[in-house]
Structure 1
């Protein structure tokens, strides 16, 4: 695959004028992006995060700084202290990285962050979400363009497989770093990449990465379709300081699938993620057009009456004598 053509096509569709910020780890994916952007004379600066997880990371940061100086590119470095525990190591590192990127984009007016995620990463993400029990639309995996608050993330290599990136580096003698933490089985993604995916492909008898990527694409198309189908529900939603209300009656008959999507969105507005049993219980009452039904859910009261659902926004300190137990998670 012509990676320069991939970037030019992505630029034509998605990038506006201005300077991009490349997240450069020094690994093969971001290193390939570095050279392709440089060869195409696309304006960009570089951000590197030294997590301090490996002894050699400091020297690698210095090498990348020198590489950028030779290419007359702005170089931004964030050095993190080595954590005392591996617990939530990935999550903490991710939050630190994106906070750093957001600050740089706001300070220097960079138009967005370019990330090196590729098709193999996409397959890993889709498989992880399958095992997590994600809904069908949420199997879409990584998006080529994603908004994280005010920060715009670009992933131009999502249609490119890792072997194609390695071929580019080999053909041009471009060096890159091998991050030993990518093989560290403490991290779930490493176990998926090195153990689970190869085992599944071997036992299935063929490479499953392209199939997982296609599943992610179909899920993205389904999500886009559903967003259009659900607009009338969203437009009918009424929100006050005390409650969120939605009258389902005008939408009868309706499929349980659509109801679940609407309910998940409705409760997500208050940071409550509903489990499948909780969703099924609410759908059951909506289908029956239950009258004057009162449920206690996620420390909040829910009222249903002939298709009308009202959801109290305030957290109640008064628990009912008989509480219907739901599995739900209050997101923070």
Structure 2
């Protein structure tokens, strides 16, 4: 496996948390990082959905003990709605909490080239723009830490070869074979066979597309003001900001968010002012002081954003947008 030198250098300089499942991808990344003398700790979620779920957790604890790594483990509840979506939100909320509480600089994820192409096809099938179909980046900056995907340009076959050559044990996730999940359907019917045949060209294409994306959006960077993401009032940019805040909007939510101020997935607020969109963790306050509300009105701060300002003691006059 080959990983970009600049990514390895970045990881050598910070405190790292690896999202670990004991599957093929995270296991390969675990041992690759070990080979490169990069320090990291582990975070694992037990979904209790498979025969090996508890065994994977037990073996992960043994692995962490063997290599003297801290491991954070959480058991997921039974999700009643869309499992993929709810599991993803639960997972990222857990990782986010750990990174904040323990001052990690980097959250390392084992997404690879096949995952990247699966996402591309899934978004393409739903009707998406450039920002959405290129939803995964090698380095994704958040307010307090970066998400890093070292394997994003490494194919699944390369990962499996690395595991075989180094005789590395891992668990096979049988749920990946269940095509009732849309991602698995895309994987089995389209993406895996394509990547196997055209991985070199696919890597170059994704590289070119990202360079084009940077040129297009160079003057439209998403700004961060005390946890509030500010971007142009454009669908693709708002969707990107939502993703940074931990929510991938559905087609229905995308329609909703373009009509007026709203709350997405019950936790991320969107407010508009002139040609700007403000994306922020939605909060409430039982009763805002009358004087504070009047100051917000004069400063033209959107109503749904005022509770966030009040709860975080943000100086109204510092809001220059």
The TM-score with structure 2 as length reference comes to 0.67
Over the aligned positions, Cα root-mean-square deviation in angstroms equals 3.6
Give the one of 77, 89, 114 matched to 1:120. 114
Q: What are the superposed Cα offsets for residues 166-220 of structure 1, whole Å, 9 maximum, x if unpaired?
A: 1111111101110111111121111111123357x49xxx835554444433332
Aligned to 1:11: 8
Q: What are the superposed Cα offsets for residues 28-83 of structure 1, whole Å, 9 maximum, x if unpaired?
A: 11101111112222111111111111122011100110011011111111112333
Aligned to 2:312: none
Structure 1 residues 130 and 213: CA distance shift in structure 2, 3 A: farther
Rg comparison, structure with higher value: 1
Does the CA-based 8 Å contact 2:112-2:151 persist in structure 1? yes
Q: Unaligned stretches of 5+ in structure 2?
A: 224-229, 243-248, 262-273, 277-299, 305-321
Aligned to 1:139: 133
Give the one of 64, 69, 72 matched to 2:68. 72
Aligned to 2:55: 59
Aligned to 2:215: 225
Does the CA-based 8 Å contact 2:16-2:40 persist in structure 1? yes
- Where has structure 1 moved over 4 Å in runs of 4 or more? 208-213, 265-271, 309-315
SS in 1 for 2:73: strand
Structure 1 residues 214 and 314: CA distance shift in structure 2, 3 A: farther
Q: How does 1:23-102 map to 2 (within 5 A)?
A: 23-83=19-79, 85=80, 87-102=81-96
In 2, Cα distance between equivalents of 1:134 and 1:102:
26
Does the CA-based 8 Å contact 1:141-1:216 persist in structure 2? no
Q: Unaligned stretches of 5+ in structure 1?
A: 236-243, 245-260, 280-296, 301-308, 316-332
In 2, Cα distance between equivalents of 1:169 and 1:62:
21
Query: Do structure 1's residue 164 and structure 2's residue 125 form an aligned pair?
Result: no
In 2, Cα distance between equivalents of 1:108 and 1:181:
32
Q: How does 1:1-332 map to 2 (within 5 A)?
A: 1=1, 3=2, 6=3, 8-12=5-9, 14-15=10-11, 17-83=13-79, 85=80, 87-148=81-142, 150-197=144-191, 201=194, 207-230=197-220, 263-264=234-235, 298-299=259-260
The TM-score with structure 1 as length reference comes to 0.65
Structure 1 residues 140 and 216: CA distance shift in structure 2, 3 A: farther
